[in-house]
Amino acid sequence: LQDMVMAYGPRKSRFRDAKRVFHSEDIRLSPVIIMNVNRCIQCQRCVRMCEDVVGAVALGTIEKGMDTAVTGFEGSLASCDQCGNCVEVCPVGALMSFPYRYKARPWDLVETDTVCPHCGTGCQLTVGARKGEFMRVRSKWEHGVNRETLCVRGRFGLDFVGSRDRIKRPMIRRDGALVPVSWDEAGAYLRRRLSAVESKAAGGLASPRLPNEVLYQFQKLMRTAFRTNN
Protein backbone atom coordinates (compact mmCIF):
# COMPACT_ATOMS: atom_id res chain seq x y z
CA LEU A 1 0.00 0.00 0.00
CA GLN A 2 2.83 2.38 0.84
CA ASP A 3 4.52 1.64 -2.49
CA MET A 4 1.26 2.31 -4.38
CA VAL A 5 0.71 5.64 -2.61
CA MET A 6 4.28 6.76 -3.28
CA ALA A 7 4.01 5.81 -6.97
CA TYR A 8 0.46 6.88 -7.88
CA GLY A 9 -1.09 8.72 -4.93
CA PRO A 10 -1.81 12.47 -4.75
CA ARG A 11 0.72 14.68 -3.02
CA LYS A 12 -2.00 16.61 -1.17
CA SER A 13 -5.06 15.32 0.64
CA ARG A 14 -8.51 16.69 -0.23
CA PHE A 15 -9.94 15.46 3.07
CA ARG A 16 -11.53 18.41 4.90
CA ASP A 17 -13.45 16.85 7.79
CA ALA A 18 -12.07 16.49 11.29
CA LYS A 19 -9.76 13.49 11.53
CA ARG A 20 -10.05 10.94 14.29
CA VAL A 21 -7.38 11.24 16.95
CA PHE A 22 -7.55 8.51 19.57
CA HIS A 23 -4.13 8.98 21.16
CA SER A 24 -1.32 11.46 20.65
CA GLU A 25 1.27 8.82 21.56
CA ASP A 26 1.78 5.30 20.21
CA ILE A 27 0.57 2.55 22.56
CA ARG A 28 3.00 -0.17 23.65
CA LEU A 29 0.78 -3.27 23.62
CA SER A 30 3.52 -5.80 24.37
CA PRO A 31 7.33 -6.05 24.49
CA VAL A 32 7.42 -6.54 20.70
CA ILE A 33 4.22 -4.86 19.41
CA ILE A 34 3.40 -1.14 19.39
CA MET A 35 0.31 0.50 17.90
CA ASN A 36 -0.62 3.82 16.32
CA VAL A 37 -4.42 3.72 16.61
CA ASN A 38 -4.85 6.83 14.44
CA ARG A 39 -3.61 4.94 11.37
CA CYS A 40 -6.10 2.09 11.74
CA ILE A 41 -8.67 1.72 8.92
CA GLN A 42 -10.80 -0.83 10.83
CA CYS A 43 -10.20 -3.69 8.39
CA GLN A 44 -9.84 -6.02 11.41
CA ARG A 45 -7.40 -8.29 9.62
CA CYS A 46 -5.33 -8.35 12.80
CA VAL A 47 -8.36 -9.42 14.87
CA ARG A 48 -9.20 -12.26 12.47
CA MET A 49 -5.57 -13.38 12.31
CA CYS A 50 -5.27 -13.42 16.10
CA GLU A 51 -8.60 -15.16 16.72
CA ASP A 52 -9.13 -17.45 13.73
CA VAL A 53 -5.58 -18.41 12.74
CA VAL A 54 -3.39 -18.08 15.85
CA GLY A 55 -6.17 -18.72 18.37
CA ALA A 56 -4.82 -16.32 20.97
CA VAL A 57 -7.87 -13.96 21.00
CA ALA A 58 -5.68 -11.12 22.28
CA LEU A 59 -7.07 -8.39 19.99
CA GLY A 60 -10.62 -7.09 19.70
CA THR A 61 -12.67 -3.97 18.98
CA ILE A 62 -14.26 -1.49 21.35
CA GLU A 63 -16.90 1.23 20.81
CA LYS A 64 -18.95 1.58 17.58
CA GLY A 65 -19.01 3.51 14.32
CA MET A 66 -16.36 6.22 13.96
CA ASP A 67 -15.22 5.57 17.53
CA THR A 68 -14.36 1.92 16.86
CA ALA A 69 -10.81 1.05 17.88
CA VAL A 70 -8.77 -2.14 17.83
CA THR A 71 -7.03 -2.86 21.10
CA GLY A 72 -6.24 -5.50 23.67
CA PHE A 73 -7.88 -6.08 27.02
CA GLU A 74 -7.37 -2.91 29.09
CA GLY A 75 -4.82 -1.66 26.56
CA SER A 76 -2.51 -4.66 26.78
CA LEU A 77 -2.20 -8.05 25.09
CA ALA A 78 -2.54 -10.27 28.16
CA SER A 79 -3.20 -13.47 26.18
CA CYS A 80 -0.81 -12.59 23.34
CA ASP A 81 1.64 -15.17 22.00
CA GLN A 82 3.97 -12.33 20.87
CA CYS A 83 4.08 -13.95 17.42
CA GLY A 84 3.66 -10.66 15.55
CA ASN A 85 1.38 -12.12 12.88
CA CYS A 86 -1.02 -9.23 13.44
CA VAL A 87 1.82 -6.86 12.49
CA GLU A 88 2.41 -8.89 9.32
CA VAL A 89 -1.17 -8.54 8.05
CA CYS A 90 -1.72 -4.87 9.00
CA PRO A 91 -1.88 -2.96 5.67
CA VAL A 92 -1.32 0.56 7.04
CA GLY A 93 1.34 0.23 9.73
CA ALA A 94 -1.03 0.76 12.63
CA LEU A 95 0.50 -2.29 14.30
CA MET A 96 4.28 -2.17 14.27
CA SER A 97 7.17 -4.35 15.33
CA PHE A 98 8.80 -2.52 18.22
CA PRO A 99 12.34 -3.91 17.62
CA TYR A 100 12.17 -2.85 13.93
CA ARG A 101 10.26 0.43 14.39
CA TYR A 102 11.95 3.44 12.74
CA LYS A 103 15.16 1.48 12.05
CA ALA A 104 14.79 1.42 8.25
CA ARG A 105 12.39 1.99 5.36
CA PRO A 106 11.06 -1.18 3.70
CA TRP A 107 12.48 -0.13 0.30
CA ASP A 108 15.94 0.26 1.86
CA LEU A 109 16.09 -3.41 2.84
CA VAL A 110 17.86 -6.17 0.97
CA GLU A 111 15.68 -9.23 1.52
CA THR A 112 16.84 -12.85 1.50
CA ASP A 113 14.64 -15.95 1.63
CA THR A 114 15.79 -18.58 4.09
CA VAL A 115 14.63 -21.21 6.60
CA CYS A 116 14.05 -20.55 10.29
CA PRO A 117 16.92 -22.09 12.30
CA HIS A 118 15.18 -22.50 15.65
CA CYS A 119 13.43 -25.87 15.32
CA GLY A 120 12.87 -28.72 12.91
CA THR A 121 9.58 -27.42 11.45
CA GLY A 122 11.41 -25.64 8.64
CA CYS A 123 9.33 -22.46 8.40
CA GLN A 124 10.02 -20.28 5.36
CA LEU A 125 10.86 -16.67 6.11
CA THR A 126 12.38 -13.55 4.57
CA VAL A 127 15.18 -11.69 6.35
CA GLY A 128 15.60 -7.97 5.68
CA ALA A 129 19.00 -6.31 6.10
CA ARG A 130 20.20 -2.74 5.65
CA LYS A 131 23.88 -2.12 4.88
CA GLY A 132 24.66 -5.64 6.03
CA GLU A 133 22.89 -5.21 9.37
CA PHE A 134 19.94 -7.37 10.40
CA MET A 135 16.66 -5.42 10.55
CA ARG A 136 13.56 -7.64 10.53
CA VAL A 137 11.94 -10.95 9.61
CA ARG A 138 8.81 -11.47 7.52
CA SER A 139 6.96 -14.65 6.64
CA LYS A 140 6.81 -15.74 3.00
CA TRP A 141 3.19 -15.37 1.92
CA GLU A 142 1.61 -18.81 1.31
CA HIS A 143 5.00 -20.55 1.14
CA GLY A 144 6.31 -23.47 3.13
CA VAL A 145 4.72 -25.39 5.97
CA ASN A 146 4.02 -22.21 7.91
CA ARG A 147 2.10 -20.47 5.10
CA GLU A 148 1.85 -16.82 6.23
CA THR A 149 2.50 -17.30 9.97
CA LEU A 150 5.54 -17.37 12.25
CA CYS A 151 6.03 -17.98 15.95
CA VAL A 152 7.68 -15.52 18.33
CA ARG A 153 11.11 -17.16 17.98
CA GLY A 154 10.99 -17.16 14.20
CA ARG A 155 9.95 -13.52 13.92
CA PHE A 156 11.76 -11.89 16.84
CA GLY A 157 14.48 -14.41 17.72
CA LEU A 158 16.95 -13.95 14.87
CA ASP A 159 18.70 -10.87 16.18
CA PHE A 160 21.49 -13.13 17.46
CA VAL A 161 23.04 -12.90 13.98
CA GLY A 162 24.12 -9.34 14.81
CA SER A 163 25.32 -10.09 18.33
CA ARG A 164 28.66 -8.65 19.39
CA ASP A 165 29.48 -12.01 20.99
CA ARG A 166 29.07 -13.92 17.73
CA ILE A 167 32.27 -15.54 16.50
CA LYS A 168 32.91 -14.27 12.96
CA ARG A 169 36.53 -15.39 12.52
CA PRO A 170 38.29 -18.68 13.25
CA MET A 171 40.04 -18.75 16.61
CA ILE A 172 42.83 -20.93 18.02
CA ARG A 173 43.51 -21.37 21.72
CA ARG A 174 47.02 -20.24 22.64
CA ASP A 175 48.30 -19.98 26.21
CA GLY A 176 44.78 -20.51 27.51
CA ALA A 177 43.20 -17.74 25.42
CA LEU A 178 41.36 -17.76 22.07
CA VAL A 179 43.24 -15.79 19.42
CA PRO A 180 41.71 -14.77 16.03
CA VAL A 181 43.59 -16.23 13.04
CA SER A 182 43.19 -16.33 9.26
CA TRP A 183 41.17 -19.03 7.51
CA ASP A 184 44.32 -20.50 5.95
CA GLU A 185 46.03 -20.76 9.32
CA ALA A 186 42.95 -22.30 10.88
CA GLY A 187 42.70 -24.87 8.06
CA ALA A 188 46.36 -25.85 8.41
CA TYR A 189 45.99 -26.16 12.18
CA LEU A 190 42.87 -28.30 11.79
CA ARG A 191 44.52 -30.64 9.29
CA ARG A 192 47.58 -31.02 11.51
CA ARG A 193 45.61 -31.84 14.64
CA LEU A 194 43.10 -34.15 12.96
CA SER A 195 45.74 -36.13 11.08
CA ALA A 196 47.17 -37.12 14.45
CA VAL A 197 43.89 -38.76 15.51
CA GLU A 198 42.73 -40.02 12.12
CA SER A 199 43.01 -43.65 13.18
CA LYS A 200 41.40 -42.97 16.56
CA ALA A 201 37.93 -41.89 17.62
CA ALA A 202 36.92 -38.47 16.30
CA GLY A 203 33.66 -36.54 16.05
CA GLY A 204 32.24 -33.21 15.01
CA LEU A 205 29.92 -30.70 16.68
CA ALA A 206 27.60 -28.37 14.75
CA SER A 207 25.12 -25.75 15.85
CA PRO A 208 21.42 -26.75 15.77
CA ARG A 209 20.71 -23.28 14.35
CA LEU A 210 22.26 -24.20 11.00
CA PRO A 211 19.95 -25.05 8.06
CA ASN A 212 19.67 -28.62 6.80
CA GLU A 213 21.84 -27.93 3.74
CA VAL A 214 24.78 -26.81 5.88
CA LEU A 215 24.35 -29.71 8.32
CA TYR A 216 24.31 -32.14 5.39
CA GLN A 217 27.59 -30.75 4.08
CA PHE A 218 29.07 -30.92 7.58
CA GLN A 219 28.20 -34.58 8.10
CA LYS A 220 29.49 -35.36 4.60
CA LEU A 221 32.78 -33.68 5.52
CA MET A 222 33.07 -35.77 8.69
CA ARG A 223 32.27 -39.02 6.88
CA THR A 224 34.49 -38.53 3.83
CA ALA A 225 37.41 -36.43 5.06
CA PHE A 226 37.71 -37.66 8.64
CA ARG A 227 36.23 -41.14 8.15
CA THR A 228 33.92 -40.99 11.15
CA ASN A 229 30.19 -41.33 11.63
CA ASN A 230 30.22 -39.23 14.81
DSSP annotation of 165 reads T
Q: How far apart are CA 183 and CA 43, in angstroms?
A: 54
Q: Give the per-residue pLDDT at 230.
A: 83
Give the pLDDT confidence of 154-167 residue by residue, as tens digits. Answer: 999 988 888 888 88
Give the pLDDT confidence of 86-133 residue by residue, as tens digits. Answer: 999 999 999 999 999 989 988 899 999 988 888 878 888 999 999 988
Q: How far apart are CA 23 and CA 27, in angstroms?
A: 8
Residue ranges with strand state E in 45-202: 59-62, 69-72, 95-97, 110-115, 124-130, 133-139, 171-174, 177-180
Cα dihedral 49/53/54/55 (nearest 10): 100
Alpha carbon of 102 to those of 96, 134, 220: distances in Å?
Answer: 10, 14, 43
Report the DSSP beta bridge partners of residue 28: 34
pLDDT over threshold 80, residue 19: no
CA proximity to 26, closest of 95, 80, 90, 86: 95
Q: What is the pTM of this model?
A: 0.72
Q: Give the per-residue pLDDT at 74.
A: 66
- Burial level of 126, CB count in 10 A (0-12/13-18/19+)? middle
Matching CATH number, 104-164, of 3.40.50.970, 2.20.25.90, 2.40.50.100, 2.40.50.140: 2.20.25.90
Mean pLDDT of 125-154: 88
Higher pLDDT, 16 or 137: 137
Domain-wise residue ranges, the chain: 1-8+20-98, 104-164, 167-196, 202-230
Mean pLDDT of 126-145: 87
Give the pLDDT confidence of 79-99 residue by residue, as tens digits. Answer: 888 999 999 999 999 999 999
Give the pLDDT confidence of 41-53 residue by residue, as tens digits. Answer: 889 999 999 989 9
Tally of CB atoms within 10 A around 224: 9
Give the pLDDT confidence of 197-225 residue by residue, as tens digits. Answer: 766 677 888 887 777 888 899 999 888 87
Give the pLDDT confidence of 55-83 residue by residue, as tens digits. Answer: 888 888 888 877 788 877 766 677 888 99
Q: Give the per-residue pLDDT at 167.
A: 84
| CATH number for the domain running over 1-8+20-98 | 3.30.70.20
